Structure 1
Amino acid sequence: MIRGGDRLGPTVLLCLFGILCESYGSPRSHVEAQRLERKRSIFKREVNCSSDQYFTNGLCCEKCPAGSVVAQHCNATGNKPKCEGCKDGFDFMDHSNGLGKCLRCGTCDEVVGLIEEEPCRKTQNVKCRCKEDYICSDSPCVHCTALPTETGYSALWFLSLLPLILALGCAIYFLCKRRKKKKFQLVKYKEFEMIPIPYPDIDLSGHIIDIADRMTISDVKCFVRKNNMTPVIMDQILHDHLHDTAEQKVQLLRRWYQSHGTKGAFRTLITSLREAKLCAVADEIMKSVEGAENGNTHASVATSGEA
């Protein structure tokens, strides 16, 4: 028995040692666990406080309204604390809060050009503005500077408007220049139109083909339409020579010449072409007709001389 007890001795001692370690270690672990859980719980409650609440002592208390601060915190989450109002003209609080002290009212320093616009109240700080003949030099306005004197202010005003004045002057200058140029061109054109055509009553029957060659079908249509040819006659001529643009031009010009007659026909042709901005075409036709007429005149004189 004694030997058996001797064999069991070390085992018993180990068991006793384990029990003692567990008994000393368990309270410690339990305390740490409780502390960690409490921290987690506090953190959780802090995070879950709404925007109209504030966190204190592990609770979410309702905020005090603007114009007051907390005098005593709430005793349960979601409850209202005891609030204490600020003093008009002495301190203020301009938002809902969980603070324990109001903010001191500011002052309007006349040394820097400020005067009181609205007094300090429970829910707002004092509002200042610059006094007469002063202007804010920063934002928000905490410092004012005196306006320039009348002469200096006028010069400053003029310099600020100088770029606009220069731009306006340039615009007026170029506008007047453009209008003057346009007026000069109009006068020149009218003077040119007043020059009498050398051959006002030339017989154009022998020049119709040459005239048609120097004009496009669009130019011819525009010319005869402007000179009172009816759409019915135009359509008939165009249809009769459906695939021959050259013949269409000739027939349209001949029909116009037949209805107009020799008197004033050449003048009408040249004037209409110039009004249609076809001055180059008009010059070519005048040169061609003038050359042909002068050639015919010389030929007639030579024939008369031989006779």
Structure 2
Amino acid sequence: MGSSRKFSAGLLLLCVFFFTKAVFAESTQLNGTHTFRVKRQGCQDGTYEHEGINCCKCAAGQRVAEHCTKTVSDGRCVFCENGSTYNSEPNSKVSCEICTSCDQENANLEEEEPCTPLKDRKCRCKEGHYCNSAEGSCKICHPCNRCSSTGVKEPCTLTSDAICKEESTGLSGGAVAGIVITVLVFVTVALGVVFRKKILGFWKRDASNPPGPVNDPLLPVDMEPHIVEVAEIIGWKVMSQIGLSCKMANAIDSVRHNHPGDSDMWTQELLRRWMELQGRAASVELIKTLRKMRHNNKADQIKEKLYPIDSPTV
């Protein structure tokens, strides 16, 4: 009787072992990345169609590593890389979204919330800076006004600049006299400069070889054959500033992710994306933009590269 009970108990434990192994998920670790194979009774996060078969979606924070097939009813999902990629919703993607960077040069941002497999990184303005973006997702923060001459009426916040006190309009007799004298001196100097320029202008008109126009308008040219040389002239620091001025912060993050540590490739790829954004007039706009940023030397070098002496102008 005792032997029969022991045999029954052992048989019951053996059945429970195989039943548990067949029903519950099997967790493995492959190359440092957690993977999951799940024997599904139903798809909790919905389904998607792949090659005519309905596969279960991966949960938020994961991506598809292997689609289900006719012979393998369960696909395989893997976690997004923590700190660099994420998926915030159940999905059928084979890749995760790249986390937003708070380290763009001259953007004055810092990390508020870290990036996890489930959600993107959240940035905020550094102390002494603000961004008035209505959406709350700032790409560039601006320095707060210090109101040095009048004092602060309302302090600067993360979303609004400081409001300065109004300047006093009451002036003493001495102050008025000082202003009048200053204006008179300024007007006298200005008239002298204008008169001098006119005299020089008349002299130049009488010269035997008068100078040509200072800024000849240029015709758009194809920059693609010269993109490596142009990118080398611009450099990554200036190219990233041009990209930020055109609201290309995501493109900056993307090129840095695609070519880790290679600033030359960052510059070339961001320049190529900027050219696509500008269209046919990219060559002309690039030279104009560099001059507005007071990089005249770079503008002259690129103009010499793209527009030789016999190049057509309008």
Same fold (TM over 0.5): no
TM-score by length of 1: 0.33
Higher helix share: 1
State which structure, 1 or 2, has the greater radius of gyration over its C-alpha atoms.
1
TM-score by length of 2: 0.32
